[in-house]
Amino acid sequence: MHHNVLNPLKFTLFVHIHILAYNKEKGVESLVYIHGQNVLGIQVDSETRCAHYHKEIDRIAIKFYCCNQYFPCYECHAQCGCGQPKPWPKNTFDQKAVLCGGCGHELTVAQYLNCQSNCPNCHRTFNAGCNLHAHLYFETEKGS
């Protein structure tokens, strides 16, 4: 008996190809493979910087809870993402959701929120200003 089971890799490629085709129509062509992870956004570089945030210290990508996809910032998600942003619930803060663009280390939400803007693996500095937008990515006192 043959079951119609979709291969996860084929499904992922299918989704990414369709995301790229959709975004190409919108003038966006950035699905970049960084340290083993796909990062979707606008003008994404090799350390996850994008058109919106491109200082030397802008080197993280955040996996959005709503679509399980890495984006450099909330603006890239707004332009290229699922259109239904949802912050990581507090009970999921043990899940890997932040990618260091410097070394590829994945941090859990809790690790990221407590890392004092430094990668615990390579010790490169992250942009401390990202804390101003934490409520857009994670359930926080400001965003709850």
pLDDT tens readout for residues 103-112: 999 999 999 9
Residue 141: pLDDT band by 50, 70, 90 thresholds?
Answer: confident
pLDDT, residue 142, reads 64
Would you give the end-to-end CA distance of the chain in angstroms? Answer: 49
What are the beta bridge partners of residue 73? none
Residue 5 covered by a domain: no
Residue 49 covered by a domain: yes
In which residue are the tokens 């058109």 written? 51
Residue 4 covered by a domain: no
Three-class DSSP category at 143: coil
Per-residue model confidence as pLDDT tens digits over 38-56: 999 999 999 999 999 999 9
Residue 129: pLDDT band by 50, 70, 90 thresholds?
Answer: very high
CA distance 129 to 57: 10
pLDDT, residue 26, reads 54
The number of folded domains in the chain is 1
Residue 14 covered by a domain: no
C-alpha distances (whole Å) from 39 to each of 47, 65, 138 are: 10, 14, 19
Residue 6 covered by a domain: no
pLDDT, residue 71, reads 97
Residue 114 covered by a domain: yes
Residue 142 covered by a domain: no
CA distance 84 to 121: 32
Indicate yes or no: pTM above 0.85.
no
Structural domain of residue 66, as residue ranges?
28-137
Residue 64 covered by a domain: yes
Number of H helices, E strands in the chain: 4, 6
Mean pLDDT of 75-91: 95
